[in-house]
Every structure is written in structure tokens, then in C-alpha cells.
Homo-oligomer: A and B are copies of this chain.
Amino acid sequence: MSAPESWRQRLYVIIFQSDTIAGRRFDSALLVVILASLLAAFLDSVEHIHQQFGTLLSVVEWIISGLFLIEYILRLYCSPKPLRYAVSFYGLIDLLAVLPGVIALFYPDAQYLLVVRVVRLLRIFRILKLRQYLRQADFLLTALRGSRQKITVFFVSVMSLVTVFGSLMYVVEGPAHGFTSIPRSIYWAIVTLTTVGFGDITPKTPLGQAIASLVMLTGYSIIAVPTGIFSAELNNAMRQGRAQGALAKPCPACAKGHHEADAAFCSRCGNPLFPRAPTR
């Protein structure tokens, strides 16, 4: 930051960074406003509150929408690279929080879209010690990425299972017992396989109950598959994370890859890790 610190630069520090006191206060205030916005949307959806305080709550929403719009314009204004901010992860989320308010000007029904503002709560990680949480989220993402293919195999299998089981139940139980169509039967199969079990549709015939038992036992057992996959991958990601804290220079003699952080000699073969030049 050069000497003649302009308003724009000061604004940038307050709005975009959370290291200064002013920056932290801004982020905290933002969180409070987001929560207020959500609370207003929640309360407004309750019938008897809407009838009593409807006007007040919509005024609150309009004010907050205005604030978010001003904030978004300010962010664009003070950002050194406005376009880059606009297409960044947080930039898109901020836009998402502004759009419903603008759309609701023309289509009043769009007001419920305001709840997408909940996504802005992710900013909470900026106020908490950001780095640590990001590193943890990183572990989770690494594990998820590592298990992506296994999860795909798993999901295609699950979708095939619910289609077959759903169609079977449609044939066995039929419309008379609530299985009025194949898509609805597939919905039932998903409700059952995931062990949710609403009970809005239930098998009535002995054969249907036998098939349902099979679906339930399948669902109860294969939950082990994604859990096992994710556990193994997370174990993997964390082990690699630990290994990176150790000294990762390989031994020139035996190629042992990782050593204690203060090691001078390889603990496997005893050769020096950093051979000195022959002369001297």
C-alpha cells in the first residue's frame, strides 16, 4: 500500500479484509444484518405474524435489500480488480444476495428467494479464525475429491436399485395401495432405502412387505459403503497432511522419503541427508 492512502483504499481494507478492528466490526455487522434478513423472511412466512406485522417486515426486507445493494456496489467500486471480484466465489454469493430483492420489485412472489441469503452466512468463517477452518475444509474436500469416482459408482448403483425396487413394488402392490405410478413408487423406494420412512405410502400385501424388508435391509447395510469410502479417504488425506509437516527431503542413499523435522542423518541407513562437498 503506497503513501497517499485514498478513501477507496481505506474502504477496501474495511470491507474486504478482517485483520483490522474496523474490518472485523464490518464483518460482524454484516453477519447481524444477514441474520436479521433471514429472521424477517422466516417470521413473514408464519400466517398470523404476517397478518399483524406484514407491512413492518416487508419494510425491513426492503431496507436490508437496499443495504446489500449499496454494499455490493461499494465492493465493486473499491476492489482493485472489480471483474475478478465479481466472478469470484464470494462475489457470486454477494450477487445472489442482491438479486432476489431486485427481482421482487417486478415479481412480488420472488420474495421467498431472499432465503438464499443464508449462503452468505459462510462469511462466518472470516470472523472465526479463518485459516484453520479453511485447512479443515480442505481436508474434507480432498477426501471428497479422492472418493468422487467410488461415490459415482455407488450412486449409479443406488439409482438402479431404487428404480428396479420401485417398479417391482408398483407391479406387486399397485395403485390400490398408494403406489399409483412408477415415479411415485421410486419415491417410496428412496424413502425406504435411505431409512427415512415417512409412512405416507406403505406396503399392504405380504409379498410387498417382504420386498420392503429386503429394501430396508439393503439400505441399512449399504450405508456402510459411503461411510467406509469417506473414512478411508479422510484417513489418507490426514496422513498425508501429517507427513507434510515432517521433512519431506528423500534420503540420497536409500530414498526414505520423510524424516524428523530436525534430522541430519537418515534414520534407516545412517547416511547424511545433506552430504557436504568433498573438499573442505
Chain B proximity of A38: nearest CB distance (Å): 7
The residue of chain B having its C-beta at the shortest distance from the C-beta of A128 within the complex is B152
Q: Give the one of A121, A143, A260 with max B CB within 10 A.
A: A260
Given A228-B234, A267-B260, check contact A42 B136 (CB 8 Å).
no
Decide: B267 and A160 in contact? CB cutoff 8 A.
Answer: no
Residues of chain B lying within 8 A (CB to CB) of residue A190: 213, 216-217
Residues of chain B lying within 8 A (CB to CB) of residue A125: 153, 156
Give the interface segment out of A1-9, A17-25, A68-76, A167-175. Answer: A167-175
Q: Mark A132-166, 1 if CB is under 8 A from B, else 0.
A: 11001101100100000111111110111001100
Decide: A220 and B195 in contact? CB cutoff 8 A.
Answer: yes
Decide: B194 and A217 in contact? CB cutoff 8 A.
Answer: yes
Q: Mark A225-265, 1 if CB is under 8 A from B, else 0.
A: 11111111111101000000000010101100001101111
Decide: A254 and B271 in contact? CB cutoff 8 A.
Answer: no
Please tell me if A84 contacts chain B, counting CB pairs below 8 Å.
no
Residues of chain B lying within 8 A (CB to CB) of residue A192: 196
Please tell me if A115 contacts chain B, counting CB pairs below 8 Å.
yes
Decide: A119 and B225 in contact? CB cutoff 8 A.
Answer: no
Identical copies in the complex:
4
The residue of chain B having its C-beta at the shortest distance from the C-beta of A184 within the complex is B209
Given A115-B167, A274-B271, check contact A236 B236 (CB 8 Å).
no
Given A191-B216, A229-B234, A269-B265, check contact A150 B140 (CB 8 Å).
yes
Given A122-B160, A196-B216, check contact A209 B236 (CB 8 Å).
no
Q: Mark A10-36, 1 if CB is under 8 A from B, else 0.
A: 000000000000000000000000000
Given A187-B213, A231-B227, A267-B260, check contact A153 B181 (CB 8 Å).
no
In the bound complex, how far is the Cα of B259 from the Cα of A264, in angstroms?
13
Q: Mark A100-143, 1 if CB is under 8 A from B, else 0.
A: 00000000000010011011011011001000110011011001
- Partner of A163 from the list B115, B155, B195, B276 (CB cut-off 8 Å) is B115
Please tell me if A83 contacts chain B, counting CB pairs below 8 Å.
no
